[in-house]
Amino acid sequence: MLIGAHVSNAGGLPNAVERAVERNCDAVQIFNQSPRQWKPTAYTDDDFAAFREARDASPIASVLIHAVYLINCASEDRELVEKSRVSLVHSLRVGGAIGADGVVLHAGSALKGDVGAAIGRAGEVIRSALDETDGCELHLENTAGTGGTLGRSFGELAGLLEAAGGGKRLAVCLDSCHLLASGYDVRSAEALSGVLEDFDREVGLGRLHSLHVNDSQTPLGSNRDRHCMLGTGEIGEAGCAAFLSDPAFDGLPAIFEGPGSSGKAVEPGDIVRMRELREAGVKARR
């Protein structure tokens, strides 16, 4: 497993690599722009080259980009759909330029409308964005299910993949907090094993290319997306250790998004904690 964190790239893309190295990360996730604004950051070829140079000189083995939160590929509002498509294309192009392994996307929300129709609309937008770009993968993230968000179940993830064309650049990012909130019990190695069997049957483990490792403030089936420090929430130490040590996740980038021990950004000690929990989980499986 490639242990990592979401870090800021404030001050320039190479700074994200520096911050990840300071935290002893194997992997890193960044936003390609402000996550709550439509305006894209105007990067230059020099910016991209500087990032690649910094990464090549570091131990960082995997890079992910998280697309902006405003995107709703499933909207019935044509203006919002077009903004979402343009933003997603920009994320994928930045990902390709910096050599990212994937762009992680919240596909959108059906709100109170028909979920099947919403999945179809989202699939069309995703397919269009992929057709306009090349190289960088798109990782559809499972959701907690708040407000009709798509991807709350493995069936919905499978539907999104199919609606988007099912191409080789389409993959999945599983978030542990979102799994618990949407009703999947990941609080023990045994429970997680059953969840992954379901995922393999409905989506396929071959589609799983990245992970978000977050504990949850809210209980199983709450449909609320509230992260907390690893081991301090409803998943708990045993559940986080099981998630971090499952053999099915070997080789995948596993990103802790926070909040960290400071209450805000992920700190070096939080990555130490991730490694300790992983080791505890490995020992428990022996």
Q: What is the pLDDT of residues 172-182, one digit of tens each?
A: 999 999 999 99
- Asked if 141 is an active-site residue, the reply is yes
pLDDT number for residue 112: 84
Res. 263 pLDDT band, cuts 50 70 90: confident
Catalytic option among 175, 215, 246, 267: 175
Q: Answer yes or no: is pLDDT of 213 > 90.
A: yes
Give yes or no: 246 in active site: no
In this prediction, residues 17-21 reach a mean pLDDT of 98
Cis ω before 253 (30° cut-off from 0): no
User: Any catalytic annotation for residue 90?
Assistant: no
Domain spans in the chain, listed from the N-terminal domain onward = 2-285
Mean pLDDT across the chain = 97
pLDDT of residue 157: 98
209 given a catalytic annotation = no
pLDDT digits (tens, 9 = 90+) for 116-167: 999 999 999 999 999 999 999 999 999 999 989 999 999 999 999 999 999 9
- Let me know if 66 is a catalytic residue: yes
Which of the following is catalytic: 6, 90, 106, 121? 106
Q: How confident is the model at residue 221 (pLDDT cuts 50, 70, 90)?
A: very high
The mean pLDDT of 247-257, rounded to a whole number, is 98
DSSP letters for the chain = -EEEEE---TT-HHHHHHHHHHTT-SEEEEESS-TT-SPPP---HHHHHHHHHHHHTSS--EEEEEPPTT--TT-S-HHHHHHHHHHHHHHHHHHHHHT-SEEEE---B-TTS-HHHHHHHHHHHHHHHHHT--SSEEEEEP---GGGBTTSSHHHHHHHHHHTT--TTEEEEEEHHHHHHTT---SSHHHHHHHHHHHHHHT-GGGEEEEE--EESS-TT-----EE-TTSSSSHHHHHHHHHH-GGGTTSEEEE----TTSSS--HHHHHHHHHHHHHHHHHH-
Q: How confident is the model at residue 42 (pLDDT cuts 50, 70, 90)?
A: very high
pTM of the model: 0.97
User: Which of 19, 209, 227, 273 is labelled catalytic?
Assistant: 227
Taking the domain 2-285, which CATH number applies? Answer: 3.20.20.150
36 catalytic residue (yes or no): yes
Among the options 47, 101, 141, 215, which is catalytic? Answer: 141
Provide the percentage of residues in the chain whose pLDDT is more than 70: 100
User: Residue 99 — pLDDT band, cuts 50, 70, 90?
Assistant: very high
Q: Which pLDDT does position 189 carry in this prediction?
A: 98
- At 272 the pLDDT is 97
- Residues with Cβ < 8 Å from 88, sequence gap 6 or more? 67, 71, 73, 103, 105, 125, 126, 129, 138
pLDDT of res. 32: 96
Q: Is the pLDDT of residue 253 over 90?
A: yes
- Does the pLDDT value for residue 191 go beyond 90? yes
pLDDT at 262: 84
Active site residue 43: no
**What pLDDT, on the 0 to 100 scale, is given for residue 100?**
98
